[in-house]
Amino acid sequence: MHDLIIIGAGPAGITASVYAVRKGMNILVITKDIGGQAAWSGDIENYTGYQFITGPELAGKFEEHMRKYNIALNENEAVKEIKKSDNTISVTTDKGTYTAKTVIIASGKRTKELNVPGEKEFKNKGLTFCATCDAPLFAGKTVAVIGGGNSALDAALQLINIAKKVFVINITAGLGGDAVMRQKVEESKIVTVLNNAQVTAILGDKFVNGIKIKRENKEEVLSVQGIFVEIGLMPNSEFVKEVEKNQYGEIKVNFRNETNIPAIFAAGDVTDVPEKQIIIAAGEGSKAALSAFRYLAQRRI
C-alpha cells in the first residue's frame, strides 16, 4: 500500500514526485514514458532559470532530478483503470494492479489524428507527430506542417533550419499561437503558409510523396516527402471514469488540485487548468503533491 501513486512523468508528474518524496511519502510513479510533452518541444526560451534550453534537455533535467531520490518508477506501463473503495484506490495497468491511499493523475495529453485516408498507412513512413524527434530525418526535403497553433509553429521553426521547403497547412483564416513565433514563421523565405486549407488525404508509395488539400473549393496536391501533424492535443483521461471532466475530456480540479472524488488529485495538461505550459504544469504538480500530503496528514489514514 503506497501513500501516493503518481500517473505520468511529465513536468507535472515529476515535480509531484519530488515534492512528495521530500515530504517522506511512500510513492510509486507509473508512466508510459519520461518527459511528457516537454520532450517533444523544440527551443524553450520562457522557462524560468534557463534563458534557452531545448525540450529534450529540459526533460532530461527533470528526469535527473527525480532519479536523484531513487523514486520507485514503473516505466513503459499503461494505466487502464482507477477505482476507489473506502480508503483504498486501486490502479490497474497492463502489467498489474497497485494500491494507494491517494493518487495524482498527471497523464498529460496526446496528439490528435487527422482521420484521413493514408494517415495510418504512412505513419512513421514520412508522416510523424513529433518534429523534435524526427525533423533531422527530413534534411533537404520538402515537408508539410499541418496546424496553425503553437505546436505547428514550433515544428515549422525547427524545420526551417533543416528542410528545403516548408508548407504550413492551416484550416483557419490565419495562424494563431504566440506573436513572436508567428512572425518568425511568416518571415521565413522557405515557408509557405496556406490558410483555409483542409487536408483530405495522405499520398505515397512505400513512403509519403504528397498531400492532398482542399482550398477555396478546389483540391490540389502538394509534392512533399514529409508530413508533421500538429493539430492539437487530447487529454489522456479515458482510464478514469468516475472523476468529473469538461467537454474536452479534461479533468476538473479546484485550486488545491482536488477532483470531485476525495483522495484523487490531478495536475498538468490533463486538467482543465487554463494555459498549457511546462512551467504551469510543474507548479500544478507541486500543488497536487502538497494537497495529497495534507489530505493524509489531516485524516491519519
Catalytic residue numbers read 130, 133-134
**Contact yes or no for 127/229 (Cβ under 8 A):** yes
Instruction: Please give the Cα distance from 238 to 224 (Å, whole number).
Output: 35
In the block, cell 533537404 appears at: 140
CB 39 within 8 A of CB 90: no
Distance separating alpha carbons of residues 250 and 248, to the nearest angstrom = 5
Contacts of 56 (CB under 8 A, 6+ apart): 35, 39, 132
E strand intervals along 59-190: 72-74, 79-85, 88-93, 97-105, 109-111, 127-128, 142-146, 165-169
Element (H, E) at 218: strand 218-222
Determine the Cα–Cα distance for residues 13 and 111; give it in Å rounded to an integer: 19
Cβ atoms of residues 158 and 135 within 8 Å: yes
